[in-house]
Amino acid sequence: MSANAITFQRPSSPHPEVASWTVAEVETLLGLPFMELVFRAAEIHRQFFEPGKIQLSTLISIKTGGCPEDCGYCPQSVHHETAVDNEAMMTVPEVVAAARQAKANGASRFCMGAAWRGPKDADLQQTLSMVEQVKALGLETCATFGLLQDGQAEQLKQAGLDYYNHNLDTAPDKYGDIIATRAYEDRLDTLGKVRRAGLSVCCGGIVGLNDTRTDRAGLIAQLANLDPQPESVPINNLVKVIGTPLEDAQPLDWTEFVRTIAVARITMPRSYVRLSAGRSEMNEATQALCFLAGANSIFYGDKLLTTDNPEVLADRALLDKLDLTPL
C-alpha cells in the first residue's frame, strides 16, 4: 500500500474525543500524508474553536534553579552544570508587577513556575498570595510547582488558581531515559490531586528528546486517554542547553513537530493546544502551519522559565501577518 493510500478510522464512540486511543492508532495518524493530516486537524479545530483566535499566555519563573530533580533537558537541575544559578524566590510585588505588564502587553493568562520537586508549606503560602493578587488583575492563572501533597491543590484552588500545569514529558516507555528522580506514577498522582480539587489541568510534553515517532505516539496517547482530557496541552520542542545530558540531541525535523501538533488536535479536539518552548528556533512558516494544524495558544513574552522566547513585537507582527487575534 502506498503512503497516499493510508487511511484511519477513529474508534466508534458516542463521544469520539474521549475514546481510548492506542499507541498504534496514534502512530497511524502521525504517519498520514502530511497535507492530509494537517487538513484533518484543521477541520476538527474548526468544529470546536474559532480558527482566527489565539490565546496569549505569559510564563515567568518565580523560583529559578536549584531543582533536585535530574530531568535530562532542564538547565535548572542541580545535577547538571549549566549557566543557570540557584536564585531566591521572587517577591509577591515583583510577580504582581510582571503580571500587570503581561496584561498590558495583551496576555490573558499568567503562568507561574518554580524549580521545586514540590512546594514546601512555607513556599506555598507565598505562592497563594501571588495567585490571589494576579487573579485580582483579571488574568487567568496557572501554576507549575512540581509534585503536590495532599491538600495543597485545594489551597491553590481556594486562592483563585484556574490551571495547574504538570507535564508528562514523554511516553511511559521513554520516561526512564530522561528522568530518574521522579516516577511516571508520581506525575499521574499529582494530576489526580489537581482534578479532585476542581482545578483545570494543563498537561503536555516535550518532543525532540531523541525520541522516535512511536515515542511521540505514546505521549499523545497517554495525554488523550486522561479522563477527562487536559483543558490545555503544551507541546514543547526541546531547547538544547549546554551542560544538560540532551545538549547534543538530534534535532527534530520541523514536519514531525507539525505532525505532533496536528495529532494532538485530532485526539484532543476540545483542548487548547499550546505552541510552547522551541518557538524561538522556528521560522514563521512553521509556526503558521502549526496554527493551521490546530495550535491555538502560545507563550507570549521575551522569556520562558530560563530560555528565550520570540519577542513581543515579533509575535504581534506574526499574528498580524496571519490575521490572528488574541482571545
Which positions are catalytic? 67, 71, 74, 111, 142, 202, 274
φ/ψ of 175, rounded to 5, equals -55, -40
- Can you list the positions of beta strands (E) in the chain? 53-63, 109-114, 140-144, 163-165, 200-202, 205-207, 232-237, 272-275, 297-299, 325-326
Q: How many CB atoms lie within 10 A of CB 5?
A: 7
C-alpha cell recorded at residue 270: 476540545
The residue written with cell numbers 490565546 in the block is 55
Beta bridge partners of 165: 202
Buried b or exposed e, range 151-187, using 16+ CB within 10 angstroms: ebbebbbebbbbbbbbbbbbbbebbebbbeebebebb
φ/ψ of 233, rounded to 5, equals -130, 95
Closest CA to 267 of 302, 230, 224: 224
User: What is the C-alpha separation between 280 and 59, in angstroms, rounded?
Assistant: 15
The string of DSSP codes covering 91-114 is: PHHHHHHHHHHHHHTT-SEEEEEE
What does the DSSP 8-state code read for residue 234?
E
Number of residues that make up the chain: 327
Buried b or exposed e, range 300-313, using 16+ CB within 10 angstroms: bbeebbbeebbebe
